[in-house]
Amino acid sequence: MVFIRNRQATIIEDYLDGFCRTNPKVKKVKGLPIVLQKVQDDHLVPIISGGGSGHEPAHIGFVGKGMLTAAVYGEIFTPPTAEEVLAAIRAVDKGKGVFLIVKNFEADLVSFRKAIELARQEGIAVKYIVSHDDISVDTKNNFRMRHRGLAGTILLHKILGAAALTGYSLDELEQLGLSLATEIATIGFATKSAYLPNAALPLFDLEEGQISYGIGIHGEEGYRTVRFESSEQLANEIVNKLKLKFRWKEGEDYILLVNNLGSMSEVEQGIFLNDICQFLELEGLQLSYIKTGKFMTSLDMGGISVTLCRVKDRKWLDFLEAPTEAAAWWATNFYRNQISQEMT
């Protein structure tokens, strides 16, 4: 398949330059794979996230007032180096400390933790949270839960970003992040694998008409492959896995994020969204906030991931609705349940 580019070596640099041309609130750091807010409030704790490219709009699309202060990029499906992460920390540090959101992948953790260690040696106060929302299982490792950082990471971006805008301290952001991360879970399915740029073969094998449950965002195949039957079948499988994670009770309050993994049509996305909502409502759950669109993709993968967040604090919903200048957040659809909104 054709991947539009000029030179393989400049794919990310060219993309970042193009993104900044239509997003006047952000800028690229010259010579580095870092995008940050053009105007930063020196009185607030800045928030950084990042990782390999290929997941757009994550993370660059969520840079903006009320969400991320900066995002640092690596090559496709490859995290930035520790030196690049450190450069991002230095770029946003204004003396209030710096907070990082890191996805739970081994290579990402190595780069980000090394950068955090180096920043602390320079006297910069740094704290971080590891996003680990994936509840898929590894069939080759005793069905152990994988705990990768998936689309639930975007809820951390939004809620922590809004909290930082209200003046949360570094310690307060850490406590909020820890509380949030334990209440977020994600699982998805694929209808087709992604292709790396200029690759002749897909990242994993999936025959026409098949579904793979529990896929990753770097081309990792899922825990089970079945023939496609219906959208309702997909929703039922996803809800059953989420139910095992949360062991919910009727009347509990949840945030729902339905994420297009790359190339699903709006029609398919809408049909599945309707089915997943109906299944969750049959479980007696209160869906206080629903958002759908592209948040964390895997190049051109066909598929959808579903993220649920159990609402433990009503402020979380307010933070989700708080204004932001991040381009990708408001480019997607959302719904806030009015009954929930009126609750105290």
Q: Place 344 in a pLDDT band, splitting at 50, 70 and 90.
A: very low
Domain architecture of the chain: domains with CATH: 10-181 (3.40.50.10440), 184-342 (3.30.1180.20)
The pTM (predicted TM-score) of the whole model is 0.95
Q: Who wins on pLDDT, 4 or 138?
A: 4
**pLDDT tops 70 at residue 4:** yes
Residue whose pair of structure tokens reads 């080759």 in the numeric block: 140
pLDDT band at 340 (very low <50, low <70, confident <90, very high): very low
Q: Which residues are catalytic?
A: 55, 218
The per-residue pLDDT for 41 is: 96
Residues 6+ apart with CB under 8 A from 265: none
Supply φ then ψ for residue 127, to 5 degrees. Answer: -130, 160
Q: What is the mean pLDDT of residues 194-202?
A: 85
Q: Give per-residue pLDDT as tens, 71-86.
A: 999 999 999 999 999 9
Average pLDDT, integer, range 270-274: 98
122, burial (CB in 10 Å: exposed 0-12, middle 13-18, buried 19+): exposed
What pLDDT digit, counting tens, does each position of 102-147 carry?
999 999 999 999 999 999 999 999 999 999 999 998 877 777 788 9
pLDDT digits (tens, 9 = 90+) for 52-62: 999 999 999 99
**Average pLDDT of the residues of the chain:** 95
Q: Count CA within 13 A, CB hemisphere, residue 70.
A: 30
Give the DSSP H/E element, type plus range, for residue 116. Answer: helix 106-121
